[in-house]
Structure 1
Amino acid sequence: MLRAIIVDDEELSVKRLKRLLSESKDIETCHTFMNPLEAYEYAKSSPVDVAFLDISMPELDGMALSGLLLDLDNAMDIVFVTGHDEYALQAFDASALDYLLKPVTAERLDKTLAKIRKNRGYTAAEPALSVFLFNGLRLCRSRKGQETIRLRSPKTEELFAFLMFRRAISREEIVDTLWSDLETDKALKNLNSTLYYIRKAIGSGQTGDCIEAGRHEIRIAESSLYCDLYEFERLLKQIRSAPEPSADLFKRAEVLYTGEFLKGKSYEWASEQTRRLEQDYIELLEAAARFHIGIHQPQQSLRYFCEILKLDAIREDISHEVIRLYTELGRKHEAFQQYRLLEQSLQQELGTRPDPRVEDFIMKLMR
């Protein structure tokens, strides 16, 4: 993993870039400096793999600072970050690995980190444990789902799922949630024995390192495993913060949601999270559909809207969009079919009829 520094005299830019870097699994530590001389003093005594430098700074600009840093360690990767694209050629003349234009986006930063990995001749290590929480609960020793790990009992499954869901939680809250019917001492013993069986199943010397059990708290070491939920939430955050999300980001997030969170497991503590994640997924599909409308790809937009209706058949606004898109694509018969489905769903579920605006649209289509 990489040790990074950010040097910029604009506080908001520093905070934004540090947040984006903290969401990357490539970065181990990230120190920030608003004074370039302080950054230089730090680099004299501390190892730095990559330096993100603003170009325009008082006293010592990024170009000059990059020279000083490379004198200390010519293997250091320099990435310039600035609000002025006229510095691009100058940046590469200064042996910069890359050049980022403010405001930095997560998608663009990913490309920079990929360049750094390539330059250093390594790829991100494949986690020894993969955990899938959508459409059930599944543990595997590879990302491709090979060599499934089976846990000892339903209670070991529930404890592991609860730890993955909460990520860090006190022992007290665990026993209050999973063993509320037992006395405290017995509940804590059950927790310890159940935790032992989980670690035994996943291998405490290897993948078991993903569970950090302290005296008062148990924590999941997220960097030591892959989890579809964690990746889904990371991509959602990236999409929401990006000024212009890409079709690829939407697609990557969509394919992760393979089914309901912990489907088939009737855990009371998971019910609210299940509803929230389904709503997040629906919002993702709608954003993707409207993104494709904006770039004039009605067929792709139609697919996303239809996925929403599989989960919420009485969304009249979405049905109207589907009817409109079918019409735009010259598929009037399917537009009428969609209207009939909406009519039936509303009558069965709510005892109502479609919005008059949808009915008017259909009547005009029939003329």
Structure 2
Amino acid sequence: MKAILVDDEPLALDYLERQLNKVSNIVVVGKFTNLIIGKETTLLEEVDVVFLDIEMAGVNGLELAEQILEINSSLSIIFVTAFKDYAVKAFELNAFDYILKPVQLERLQLTLERIEKKLDDQISQPLSVNQILQINVCRELTFYFTKDKVEIIHWRTTKAQELFLYLLHHSGKAIRKSELIDILWAEFDQNKAYAQLYNAIYHVRKTLGKFSNHFSLKSVPDGYILLTKNALIDILEWENRIVAAPPISMETVDGYETSMDLYTGSYLQEYDYLWVEPERYRLELLWTNVAYQLANFYYEQGELKNARIWYVKICTIRPEEENAHFSLMKLFAILGNDKLVDYQYVQLKNALEELSIQVSPNIRKWYDQWNQNKTISKP
């Protein structure tokens, strides 16, 4: 393994180098009291591990770490600190590997063994070069290279996952650090909030390391930008197809059915993120509009079975949709299925009562009239 050491104390650098020299399978290829990222890009691309002092004069070790990982997301960063209490506070989520000064040889060997294991795992993992990564965000986040075979993603914290999803939500757009803190760590004071941000960025980079051919997380002035390549996002693919589709007809309806299959649930519906709700609502309305078009088209064509399927789908995803319930009631009345008419009315009534809303007068009037006619027609 190749390592570089960063510490603003030359004596500490020399001591750590001597300790590392006692360990096999590692060579120190650089020592810095002031690491200038822009001048050492080539070196950082080649090394396996960076030992980094977290408390250096005028330098935020956490921020420096995420800048290093932007250049080489696969390397390991080991923080070195003289203060145990500080380490416990800074790494309360156990986010980073760290060792305490003075560096003990036994502790150092354990750390390096873990790094070696990680490097072996990376070598054994198949590369995804030229493969298309399918990113599903309907219902919940999943990655696929092959259909029906989920790529396992281990997020160190829920905040790291939410950070990734927020950046993916704004893919291709620079997001300021202050915005991320307002969204994710508003309850923390500024110093701790920034530490949490760098912590999460670190883990997003590490988690995405396996998918380096598909994601690029870059630092920009006072912010970050997530770029995707060789990747398809299901909800975007669905929306693009729907928006570009011609009007529904006998010739195009099968294409609509195929496109609507891509929408397997509401946008990130398994996550209670407030920032998701406006986009989730917009996409649900778009889906509902197209679902109504399909249901009404089938109804007009006399294909009542297919019409029923789409009205039921609307009622399932949006139980408060009166028009879908009403259409089913009228469809069941045509089919002479009185029990299902009653059932659908009760379903609508219950769904609206949960929202403290009453059934619309025109639907109540229709239902009452239908009941009267049903009673009159009985012998």
Quickly say closer, same or farther: Cα 1:361–1:269, change in 2 above 3 A. Answer: same
Once the 2 structures are TM-superposed, how far is the Cα of residue 336 of structure 1 from its aligned partner? 3.3
Asked if 2 retains the 8 angstrom alpha-carbon contact of 1:134 and 1:263, the reply is yes
Aligned to 1:357: 366
Call closer, same or farther: CA 1:155–1:207 in 2, change over 3 Å: farther
Instruction: Confirm or deny that 1:164 pairs with 2:164.
Output: no
Structure 1 residue matching 2:168: 3-state secondary structure: helix
| Letter matched to residue 164 of structure 1 | L
Which of 277, 280, 284 is equivalent to 2:283? 277
More deviation, 184-193/323-332: 184-193
Which residue of the other structure, out of 124, 131, 134, is the alignment partner of 2:135?
131
2:151 corresponds in structure 1 to 147
**SS of the residue 1:278 aligns to:** helix
Q: Call closer, same or farther: CA 1:221–1:294 in 2, change over 3 Å.
A: farther
Give secondary structure in 1 for the equivalent of 2:224: strand
Q: Name the CA distance, whole Å, in 1 between partners of 2:352 and 2:191.
A: 53
Kindly indicate whether residue 241 of structure 2 is the aligned counterpart of residue 232 of structure 1: no
Deviations 1:341-362 (A, max 9, x none): 3345455654745431333244
1:288 partner letter: L
Q: Give, in angstroms, the shift of residue 205 of structure 1.
A: 7.0
Q: Distance in 1 between matches of 2:181 and 2:243?
A: 31
Deviation at 1:303, TM superposition (A): 0.8
- Alignment: residue pair count: 240
How many angstroms apart in 1 are the aligned matches of 2:348 and 2:185? 45
Q: CA RMSD in A?
A: 3.0
Equivalents in 1 of 2:206, 2:357: separation in Å?
Answer: 54
Per-residue deviation, residues 233-258 of structure 1 (Å, max 9, x unmatched): 2223224xx23463234323433333
Q: Which blocks of at least 5 consecutive residues in structure 1 are unaligned? A: 1-124
1:232 corresponds to which letter in structure 2? W
* SS of match in other structure, 2:261: helix
Instruction: Find out whether 1:214 has 2:214 as its counterpart.
Output: no
Aligned-partner SS, 1:150: coil
Unaligned runs of 5+ in 2: 1-129
SS at 1:226's partner residue? Answer: strand
**2:335 corresponds to which residue?**
329
Question: How much identity, in percent, do the aligned residues show?
Answer: 20
Write the letter of the residue equivalent to 1:303: I
Aligned runs of 1:1-367 on 2, under 5 Å?
Answer: 126-127=131-132, 129-167=133-171, 168-172=173-177, 173-182=179-188, 187-188=193-194, 190-203=196-209, 206-216=212-222, 218-239=224-245, 242-244=246-248, 246-346=252-352, 349-350=355-356, 352=358, 354-366=363-375, 367=377
**TM-score computed with the length of structure 2 as normaliser:** 0.54
Asked if structure 2 preserves the Cα contact closer than 8 Å seen for 1:139 and 1:150, the reply is no
Alignment check: 8 A CA contact 2:215 2:228 kept: no
Q: State TM-score, norm by structure 1.
A: 0.56
Quote the Cα distance in structure 2 between the aligned partners of 1:236 and 1:210. 28
Does the 8 Å contact 2:267/2:283 carry over to 1?
yes
CA-CA distance at 1:322 after TM superposition: 0.5
